[in-house]
Amino acid sequence: MDDRISKPAAAPGRDFKVARLAAPLRHSVVESIRDAIALGRFTTGERLPERALCELTGVSRTLVREALRQLESEGLIIVVPHRGPIVAGVTPEQAEGIYQVRAELEGLAAERFAAKAGPVEKKALKAAFRQLKTALTSADPLDRINAKNHFYDSLIEGAGNEALGQALNMLNARITVLRATSLQTPGRGKESIAELSELVDALMAGDGVAARAAAVRHVAKAAEVALLNLRRQDAATSV
């Protein structure tokens, strides 16, 4: 298969069993399988047998099938005739396109947050940023990914634009996988905190121009790191 993506090593002993609490169960199953893909538990081109996914998540085949349909719509898996669902890859060219769209959308989200967010939204974003700074020092890649996603959820919430949030959510699954690719790079966590500190400062000051610029710079740097990793992996596997 030609589509490839560099994956971080799966955390030893990672438990992907779904807790039957809080969020709707179907949503939790989708998140669990998505996390397993992002963390390298399943690699590009690997088959995803329903039985294995049931054992992994601890839920029924019906819920697994529903989750697979959702992940197919997100572009994380593809269904191949006579093989069933397999993990889709992301080529460097596809990743570059995703990052271009992400930069535009997150730049707009930052600009709108600076213009519209009130004290409650700003407090939530600052709390999410503190959580992110702690998580980026963690050895657990899932902690880092979840904290980064929570930070952006807070940014989108404060932007107050439903259509913008929906557009970013459509990209979120692939962004999460690419984010794992970027954050596995040594030193990237510290760089990310420095870049996002500039963004948070601009957001708290209500400076939309500076906030947009900081958001775009951060995405550009993340793209640079992830694309370098992807191209190295692509070259290594095509020898």
pLDDT < 70 stretches in the chain: 1-23, 181, 183, 236-239
Note whether residue 6 is domain-resident: no
Same domain, 56 and 70: yes
**Whether 132 contacts 155, CB under 8 Å:** no
pLDDT score recorded for residue 187: 83
pLDDT score recorded for residue 78: 93
Note whether residue 40 is domain-resident: yes
CATH (domain of 77) = 1.10.10.10
pLDDT score recorded for residue 175: 82
pLDDT score recorded for residue 170: 82
Same domain, 153 and 45: no
Note whether residue 13 is domain-resident: no
Which of 53, 72, 87 is the endpoint of a domain? 87
pLDDT score recorded for residue 40: 81
Calculate helix-pair angle for 50-57, 61-73, nearest 10 degrees. Answer: 100
Which of 63, 87, 111 is the endpoint of a domain? 87
CATH (domain of 203) = 1.20.120.530
Same domain, 53 and 97: no
Which of 40, 58, 87 is the endpoint of a domain? 87
Same domain, 114 and 149: yes
Same domain, 146 and 82: no
Note whether residue 121 is domain-resident: yes
pLDDT score recorded for residue 173: 78
* Total count of domains within the chain: 2
Same domain, 82 and 121: no
**DSSP per-residue letters across 91-144:** -HHHHHHHHHHHHHHHHHHHHHHHHH--HHHHHHHHHHHHHHHHHTT-S-HHHH
pLDDT score recorded for residue 9: 46
124-137 pLDDT, tens digit each: 999 999 999 999 88
Provide the residue range defining the domain that includes 165: 92-237
3-24 pLDDT, tens digit each: 333 344 445 456 666 655 545 7
